[in-house]
Amino acid sequence: MTISSGESTLPVGANPGRPAGSPSLAEALRSGRLVRAAGAHSALTASLVEQAGMDAVWASSFEISAARCLPDASLLTMTEYLTVAAEMQKCCSIPVVADVDTGFGGTMNVAHMVREYESRGITAVCMEDKLFPKMNSFVAAPHCLLPTEEFCRKLEVAKAVQREKDFHLIARTEALISGQPVTEALERCRRYADAGADSVLVHSKDRTNRQVLEFLAGWDERVPVVIVPTTYPDWHADDARRAGISMVIYANHGLRAMIRSTLDVLRTIREEGSTVPVEDEIASINDVFRLQHLDQWRKVSE
Ligand code: SPV
Ligand code: MG
């Protein structure tokens, strides 16, 4: 049973979700405009990413792990990550880009992952070339890379089993994170594009965009380039686009904002003895109702 609610048709028992015809990540990248994504760890935070006007949601392994107070160290299972990403996609009309770490194992795991993610409506995943179990890129720990050939095989398998025409595979190199030179990142990304990756993510923990610019100078533009400028924030999106970047991921800023603001508000309430000082600083109950699509849900019982 479906009911019509204004512009959209609400399937009973589901949130609005990505309407047929809304742009996939592949389409957004084809548009030639810079694609901006922001990290999330739940359906609610993914909705906020959409409300803020971002083009895509980054289902971040760092955020999803942090939401469980766990380190981003391959501790959660594929099913746990997929559950969160699918819940996000159910209530967002922009595409969810799932951070699938190393692909959860070997080539068979990768094939299973692609089939499972596609079956839950996720049409963009980002897989990285570290060894399983991986550690978050910003942790001062050894970051070991999978041999290029082996990672290429994973990419080939991912592309071979995709069913959705527009399924988009981002191949992420951790070469720079592991201390390798830009030439290694370039060589890997060329091989990843040849293996079928639809775009490449060159991750850097440099304090400036120097490494990324060096990468771009040697890149032949065979597929789009994605960045995560967490440690080099001083690069305006327009300048990044002009330099040749196709997609920017603001990977964890929503999470960090939430931690800081929630703590501040709760401390103020405890210290002040009432909620009066924070009432104008926080979202209203009606804001929450809107995020819950309450009006559409109430039409179900009219
Ligand atoms: C994430 O957000 O989970 C990422 C980006 O993979 S990073 O934390 O920079 O590794
Ligand atoms: Mg991650």
What residue owns the CA closest to ligand 1's atom 8? 62
Q: What is the CATH number of the domain that holds 76?
A: 3.20.20.60
Asked if residue 241 belongs to a domain, the reply is: yes
Higher pLDDT, 3 or 121: 121
Asked if residue 101 belongs to a domain, the reply is: yes
pLDDT of 211 above 90: yes
pLDDT of 1 above 80: no
Asked if residue 134 belongs to a domain, the reply is: yes
Asked if residue 16 belongs to a domain, the reply is: no
pLDDT of 6 above 50: no
Task: Please state the three-class secondary structure of the chain as a single string.
Answer: CEEEECCEEEECCCCCCCCCCCCCHHHHHHCCCCEEEEEECCHHHHHHHHHCCCCEEEECHHHHHHCCCCCCCCCCCHHHHHHHHHHHHHCCCCCEEEECCCCCCCHHHHHHHHHHHHHCCCCEEEEECECCCCCCCCCCCCCCECCHHHHHHHHHHHHHHCCCCCCEEEEEECCCCCCCCHHHHHHHHHHHHHCCCCEEEECCCCCCCHHHHHHHHHCCCCCCEEECCCCCCCCCHHHHHHHCCCEEEECCHHHHHHHHHHHHHHHHHHHHCCCHHHCCCCCCHHHHHHHCCHHHHHHCCC
User: For ligand 1, is residue 173 a contact (CB within 6 Å)?
Assistant: no
Asked if residue 281 belongs to a domain, the reply is: no
Q: What average pLDDT does the segment 279-289 reach? A: 97
pLDDT of residue 14: 46
Q: Which domain holds residue 56?
A: 23-252
What residue owns the CA closest to ligand 1's atom 2? 60
Question: pLDDT grade, residue 23 (50/70/90)?
Answer: confident
What residue owns the CA closest to ligand 1's atom 7? 137
The catalytic site residues sit at 72
User: For ligand 1, is residue 228 a contact (CB within 6 Å)?
Assistant: yes
Asked if residue 273 belongs to a domain, the reply is: no
What residue owns the CA closest to ligand 1's atom 10? 137
pLDDT of 112 above 50: yes
Question: pLDDT grade, residue 11 (50/70/90)?
Answer: very low
126 C-alpha to center of ligand 2: Å?
9
Asked if residue 5 belongs to a domain, the reply is: no
pLDDT of 4 above 60: no
Atom of ligand 1 nearest to the CA of 128: 6
Atom of ligand 1 nearest to the CA of 39: 2
Asked if residue 47 belongs to a domain, the reply is: yes
**Residues with Cβ–ion distance below 5 A, ligand 2:** 61, 99
pLDDT of residue 160: 98
Q: What domain count does the chain have?
A: 1
Q: What average pLDDT does the segment 129-147 reach? A: 96
